[in-house]
């Protein structure tokens, strides 16, 4: 098999393997090197016009995680057990209008144009 065919199969294998884990083995930790790659992949994700209307908040503080459990019905098993817990903060629709300060600043820094 060529290297390209092996790579294709590796990608399909990864998608077949993946599933939504509901709780984790708390004794296992993602290494900082691996976690940095995951965060970098998130940081490099594409967005419309490159406006990147998000921030990634890594929550490692146990006390804060416990507070989050009360308001996160979808993360009851994840918050107490996940090696790393990332909240994706999204800008509001008001903030992502074409004429908002945020979008105008992004246009300037990404495209180098002011509108
Ligand atoms: C947009 C989105 C939101 C989701 N929210 C939750 C959630 O709050 N809690 C949870 O345990 N799983 C959540 N899931 C995981 C889904 O339950 C899971 O992807 C689906 O059941 C299919 O299973 P699989 O990913 O293992 O193939 C979410 C998935 C998506 C795509």
Reported as a single tens digit per residue, the pLDDT across 66-86 is 999 999 999 999 999 999 999
- The model's pTM is 0.86
* Residue 31 banded pLDDT, cuts 50, 70, 90: very high
Half-sphere exposure of residue 41: CA atoms within 13 angstroms, side-chain side: 5
Atom of ligand 1 nearest to the CA of 19: 26
Q: Averaged over 108-115, what is the pLDDT?
A: 80
Residue to substitute in 18, 20, 90 for testing ligand 1 pocket (most ligand atoms within 8 angstroms of CB) = 20
Cβ-Cβ contacts under 8 Å for 106 (sequence gap 6 or more):
49, 50, 51, 52
For 79, other C-beta atoms within 10 Å of its C-beta total: 20
Please name which of 33, 35, 17 lies closest in space to residue 82, comparing C-alpha atoms: 35
Residue 45 β-bridge partners: none
Tell me, in angstroms, the distance from the centre of ligand 1 to residue 107's CA: 33
Tell me, in angstroms, the distance from the centre of ligand 1 to residue 24's CA: 15
What average pLDDT is seen over the chain? 94
């Amino acid at each position: 098999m060529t290297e390209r065919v092996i790579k294709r199969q590796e990608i399909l294998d990864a998608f077949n393997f993946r599933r939504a884990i509901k709780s984790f083995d708390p004794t296992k930790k993602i290494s900082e090197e691996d976690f940095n790659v995951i965060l970098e992949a998130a940081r490099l994700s594409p967005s419309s016009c490159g406006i990147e209307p998000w921030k990634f908040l890594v929550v490692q503080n146990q006390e804060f995680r416990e507070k989050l459990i009360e308001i996160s019905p979808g993360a009851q098993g994840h918050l107490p057990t996940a090696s790393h817990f990332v909240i994706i903060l999204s800008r509001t629709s008001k903030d992502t209008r074409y004429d908002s300060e945020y979008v105008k600043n992004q246009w300037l820094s990404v495209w180098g144009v002011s509108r």
